Copies of this chain bind each other. A is one copy, B any other.
Amino acid sequence: MNLQDLLKGKRLVLASNSPRRKVLMEGLDVNFETWKPKHSKESFPDSMEVAKVPEYLARQKAVPFRNDLDGDTIVLTSDTIVVLNNTIIGKPVSEANAKQILKQLSGNKHTVITGVALSSLNSEVSFSVKTDVYFRTLTEDEINYYVDKYKPFDKAGAYGVQEWIGYVGVEKIDGSFYNVMGLPVQQVYQELVKFLTN
């Protein structure tokens, strides 16, 4: 059965402020609502493997919605991180920091990992998807142009793959492209089908 049919009588909710995630969800051709995220714990155990952090944070983001759930509502929460040399690169805190981050990514491979949790009244599943991204060596002019014009301050890793820097700078990716944009839609689709079939 198609996801459209499986969702009949259900309410699917994307809990995210990201306009990119909303556009990506729209590509699945299903009805959904968008809710503002609620405050959740953003820390994780020091001992946690980097690769497990986004899925953990996605589950944390679901916690404050517990009282809003009924049997027919499914809330999708998610978290995306950029990892370079086993270190998490967050959102830039300033223009200078954004340029510094892009200098680090320049000429290197990094990994984008998105964790996703699907939560309803009685069950929760979570998973994460990782994609390797290869930037060619960027010039200082290119980094300055991008940061000054596109102001990527709300973006993990200080870039949007769907923006100029992704067009001119990303040589190749290995994995899901939409994951790099912020939501691994293919896996979300499959997991929603499974979630609703069980």
Contacts and interface: CB of A to CB of B under 8 A. Distances in A.
B186 A171 contact: yes
Nearest to A180: B177
B177 A177 contact: yes
A147 B157 CA distance: 37
A91 B13 CA distance: 37
A169 interface: yes
A87 interface: no
Nearest to A179: B172
Contacts of A131: 172
A142 interface: yes
A109 B28 CA distance: 22
A3 B139 CA distance: 12
B142 A167 contact: no
A136 interface: yes
A192 B106 CA distance: 20
Given A2-B141, A2-B142, A145-B2, A174 B171 contact: no
Given A2-B142, A29-B164, A174 B177 contact: no
A88 interface: no
Nearest to A187: B171
Contacts of A102: none
Given A141-B2, A142-B2, A178 B167 contact: yes
A98 B2 CA distance: 20
